Amino acid sequence: MIRLVRLFSTSVGDKLIVALTGGALLVFLLGHMLGNMTVFQGPDSLNGYAAWLQGHPLVWFFRFGLVAVFVAHVLVTVRLTKANRRARPVRYSRRVARQMSFTSRYMVLSGLVVMSFLAFHLLHLTFGVIQPEIYQLEDSQQRHDVYAMVVSGFRNPWIAGSYVLSILLLGLHLIHGAASLFQTLGINHESYTVLIRYGVYLLVTGIVLGYCSIPLLIFSGTVSLEGG
């Protein structure tokens, strides 16, 4: 137990925490995407899924757990970044510095955009602060009409566009993060590094396409309030 505490008080432990929390968030993104894509099956399917989710006895346990994982991922990443900067007694060459600066700035920028979008997404579709007129809608079975709320929301070009842009940035963030996850866990042998790299690209592309397909198909009219 003491060794475990000592491990997680080091930079190696911080990297492990970032990798494990990042992996957990990646699993959540996959599950959340599959649940959201029931919108393509029509109002009854999505509203039924949402009602089941809201009524699940462990829903708040998972919500608090997800928040804890997300906060830990962000805070430890910030701490690790600061520690890495303090540990550089000699400046890198100009070329390496530019590369490191680009990677660092890109990860910070994409992370900030994703966090901002997450806050907007929660205010919009979870708490109903944005577009409150569609938040209280109910279907014929007196269930929260999530389908109508999602379709009505993504008919707005600004909301649909910001969603797509944020998901694209999330995809770039995931490519870097997933690659780092395998490296941190030591799964980076030269015999299968290429396979892992392309596997990461395929996985992230699937996530991006899955999430972006919802606002794009709704905004184009392919998915409508009539369920078609």
Q: pLDDT, tens digit, for every residue of 180-191?
A: 787 777 776 677
Asked if residue 22 lies in contact with residue 177, where contact means CB atoms within 8 angstroms, the answer is yes
* Residue in 105, 227, 215, 224 with CA at minimum distance from that of residue 168: 215
Average pLDDT over residues 206-212: 96
Q: pTM (2 decimals)?
A: 0.83
Average pLDDT over residues 147-174: 91
DSSP state of 125: I
> What's the longest Cα–Cα distance across the chain?
67
144 forms bridges with which residues in the sheet? 138
Instruction: Collect all residues with Cβ–Cβ distance below 8 Å to 163 and sequence separation of at least 6.
Output: 117, 121, 154, 211, 212, 215
Instruction: Compute the distance between CA of residue 202 and CA of residue 195 in angstroms, rounded to an integer.
Output: 10
* pLDDT tens for each residue of 42-94: 999 999 999 999 888 988 899 899 999 998 988 888 888 777 667 665 554 45
Q: Cα separations (Å) of 195 from 40, 202, 206?
A: 32, 10, 16
Q: Which domains are seen in the chain, by residue range?
A: 2-219 (1.20.1300)
37: confidence class by pLDDT, cuts 50, 70, 90: very high
